[in-house]
Amino acid sequence: MTSFNKRVYEMLVRIRVFAQSYPHLFAKGSPAGQLLDEIESAIQKFSVHKTSQASSKGDAKVSTAARALARATLRSQLDAISRTARGLKLGQFWLSRDKSDRSLVEMGHMFASRAEPLKQMFIDSHLAADFIEQLNVAVQKLEKTITDQVFRENTRKAATSAIDETRNDALSALERLDPLLENLLRDDRPALTVWQSARHVERYATPRRVEPDAAAEGPSIPPITNNGAPAAQA
């Protein structure tokens, strides 16, 4: 998760703890209780989505390593076939200058098709008897790693989008809960102070060389005043 999303999640957990300490403020079915249910749901969704996001990132690293190995294996076999073909004066096995994975897959399919009627010539030149079968397996492995990596990247993007949506829903619930708690606690200053501390989103101090971009930090959370209204901007 982004730094801002992590801080929002930490804030939601603090609100949960606050509610456990002041259960009388969140009676079942009351407006505050219903909004707390929304926040609790957001906490659970955050946990699910951040696990999915972290898992997909880890899987992507493994997939990248597997793809590199599959790429190297296929390229080695294509090189061996092309080199042998040059010795046999066969001009249809030149390697493409395009070394992308998609190009390697296409060359693999093409080499396998073109080598089939000439198989014995290659075997007589000391390629393995099953060199075409090995080539087809190498092509399939690279194709699979490409597909797997795309799937994992899409999973990561979906989890990231779901986290942002959950954050926005939680902040919307908090925006409606704030004035309720301000009114309920207007005569209980100590509890109000605890609430304001719980719902505050920490802003980590970082060196700044330019003016901060508010949009990059995420949705704004208005400061609280004692009457529940957003503080006036200077």
Tokens of 157: 């993007």
Give the pLDDT score at 150. Answer: 86
- The continuous run of DSSP H or E covering 208 comes out as none
- The continuous run of DSSP H or E covering 88 comes out as none
- Judge whether 84 and 131 are in contact, CB under 8 Å: no
Give the pLDDT score at 233. Answer: 47
pTM higher than 0.75, yes or no? no
Residues of the chain with pLDDT under 50: 205-207, 210, 212-216, 225-226, 228-230, 232-234
Give the pLDDT score at 203. Answer: 64
pLDDT digit string (tens) for 131-143?
A: 999 999 999 999 9
How far apart, in whole angstroms, are the C-alpha atoms of residue 96 and residue 220? 53
Contacts of 212 (CB under 8 A, 6+ apart): none
How far apart, in whole angstroms, are the C-alpha atoms of residue 42 and residue 52? 15
How far apart, in whole angstroms, are the C-alpha atoms of residue 74 and residue 146? 13
- Judge whether 84 and 149 are in contact, CB under 8 Å: no
pLDDT digit string (tens) for 53-86?
A: 777 666 667 778 889 999 999 999 999 999 999 9
Task: Return the SS3 of 224.
Answer: strand
Task: Give the dihedral of Cα atoms 34, 39, 45, 47; nearest 10 deg.
Answer: -140
Q: Supply the DSSP string of 102-158, one letter for each residue.
A: HHHHHHHHHHHHHHGGGHHHHHHTT--TTHHHHHHHHHHHHHHHHHHHHHHHHHHHH
- Judge whether 190 and 215 are in contact, CB under 8 Å: no
Contacts of 42 (CB under 8 A, 6+ apart): 12, 166, 167, 169, 170, 173
Measured from the Cβ of residue 189, the count of other Cβ atoms closer than 10 Å reads 10
Phi, psi dihedral angles at 182 (to 5 degrees): -60, -40
Give the pLDDT score at 156. Answer: 85
**CA angle, 208 as apex, 50 and 202 as ends, to 5°?**
40
Residues in the chain: 234
